[in-house]
Amino acid sequence: RYMLFLGCSRPLTNEGCRFTPLKMSPECNVICIDNSEWMRNADYDPTRFHSLYDAVNVLINGKSRANVETTFGLLSLTGFELLSSLTTDVNKILQRTHSAPIRGSIDFVKGLKIAELVLEQRENKRSDKRVVAFVGSPFVADVDELADLAIKFLDNKVFVDIVLFGEENTSQHLSIQNFIEILNAFEASESHLLVVPPGNSIAKLIRMSQIMPESQRADSSQFDLDFDIEADPDLAEAIRLSMQDVDMFRAPTKQPMEIDFINQKTDTKVNTTEMSAEEELEWALRMSMEEAHCPSEKDIKAILFFRYH
């Protein structure tokens, strides 16, 4: 007897049948970069920002090789500027990362909120939503606000990978760890935290971490880390733990519609239908950052909905 099973014509025994591993499902990623003044420091060779750029290069090329349908957007955590809308063009993301201005300080929570808005306008609604944040400077964040944001991301099925480097701020690390633990509370550990000690290559550790797609992941034996494991066992243990999932709480098209918003500062109407897709999204993000008389998050989502649905 013979049977046809997944394109493999064999006798009823499974001997000799081969199965091709499934490729990584398509993802929509928003890469959030720290381009604050702290990124000029040279505790990562040659600077924190150059090391960040190398890491972004390794990560997005690895994800793109794992699935060519994976898309990327690029967001600045200092000016909340959308440096690149969602695209499969890896070179565009790298170019915009390289040219990002070094300035100011970051607002981590606000940056993640904007990243979620960007994810909502993805074309492939079946793709997974993921935020990858590179944080190399101190920031102030309320613990309860972070917890609420994690719960919102959990409800909306938004995964988050965070790469911490630079400042050894214990309280900041703990708040981020709690954030990741909440995200992994009811799902398989799809969100990750990677802590990169000073003097090491962010790109190398990312390639060995679970942030990288499994098919593109490198074994630690491929790299020479910049410290002696026997001489500094505590540091080695910290790196090992940072590359594991945080699992403490783990459990088993329509026609466009014209919408006018009133800019209360100038009393002039803004007609969004006359804007390009990138101009409209940038306008929505800019308005969302104004402290007074700005459209609500609901309004911003509405404008994105009617544009892309």
Give the range of the structural domain holding residue 92, as residue numbers without chain letter. 31-216
What value does the mean pLDDT take over residues 293-309? 47
User: What φ, ψ does residue 122 adopt, rounded to 5°?
Assistant: -65, 150
pLDDT of residue 141: 86
pLDDT tens track for 51-92: 999 999 999 999 999 999 999 999 999 988 999 999 999 999
Is residue 256 a part of any domain in this protein?
no
Is residue 159 a part of any domain in this protein?
yes
Is residue 113 a part of any domain in this protein?
yes
Are 191 and 128 in contact by the 8 Å Cβ rule? The answer is: no
Give the model's confidence band at 23: pLDDT under 50 very low, under 70 low, under 90 confident, else very high.
low
Is residue 63 a part of any domain in this protein?
yes
Instruction: Specify the CATH number for the domain of residue 108.
Output: 3.40.50.410
Query: Cα-atom radius of gyration of the chain, to the nearest Å?
Result: 22
Burial class of 77 by CB neighbour count within 10 A (0 to 12, 13 to 18, 19+) = buried
Is residue 168 a part of any domain in this protein?
yes
Q: 1-5, 125-129, 177-181: which has the minimum mean pLDDT?
A: 1-5
Is residue 300 a part of any domain in this protein?
no
Domain count, the chain: 1
- Report how far residue 281's alpha carbon sits from residue 81's, in angstroms, rounded to the nearest whole number: 10
pLDDT of residue 247: 41
Is residue 304 a part of any domain in this protein?
no
Are 203 and 97 in contact by the 8 Å Cβ rule? The answer is: no
Q: 96-105, 135-144, 192-201, 292-301: which has the minimum mean pLDDT?
A: 292-301
Mean of all residue pLDDT scores within the chain: 77
Is residue 78 a part of any domain in this protein?
yes
- Report how far residue 201's alpha carbon sits from residue 119's, in angstroms, rounded to the nearest whole number: 29
Nearest to 100 by CA among 164, 138, 56: 56
User: What φ, ψ does residue 199 adopt, rounded to 5°?
Assistant: 90, -5
Residue 115 scores a pLDDT above 50: yes
Give the model's confidence band at 260: pLDDT under 50 very low, under 70 low, under 90 confident, else very high.
very low
Residue 291 scores a pLDDT above 50: no
Nearest to 290 by CA among 148, 131, 142, 110: 110
pLDDT of residue 185: 87
Task: Write the DSSP assignment of 132-193 as a string of letters.
Answer: EEEE-S-----HHHHHHHHHHHHHTTEEEEEEEES---HHHHHHHHHHHHHHTSSSSS--EE
- Report how far residue 217's alpha carbon sits from residue 203's, in angstroms, rounded to the nearest whole number: 12
User: What φ, ψ does residue 245 adopt, rounded to 5°?
Assistant: -70, 145
- Report how far residue 85's alpha carbon sits from residue 277's, in angstroms, rounded to the nearest whole number: 9
pLDDT of residue 63: 96
- Report how far residue 164's alpha carbon sits from residue 170's, in angstroms, rounded to the nearest whole number: 11
pLDDT tens track for 123-152: 999 999 999 999 999 998 888 999 999 999
Sheet harboring 128-135: ordered strands across? 82-87, 71-76, 27-33, 128-135, 158-165, 192-196
| Highest-scoring range by mean pLDDT, 189-193, 234-238, 266-270 | 189-193
pLDDT of residue 83: 97
What value does the mean pLDDT take over residues 96-111? 96
What value does the mean pLDDT take over residues 7-33? 62
Structure tokens that stand for 7 in this block: 């394109």
pLDDT tens track for 204-251: 999 999 999 998 887 544 444 444 444 445 555 555 555 444 344 333
Neighbours of 151 (CB within 10 A): 13
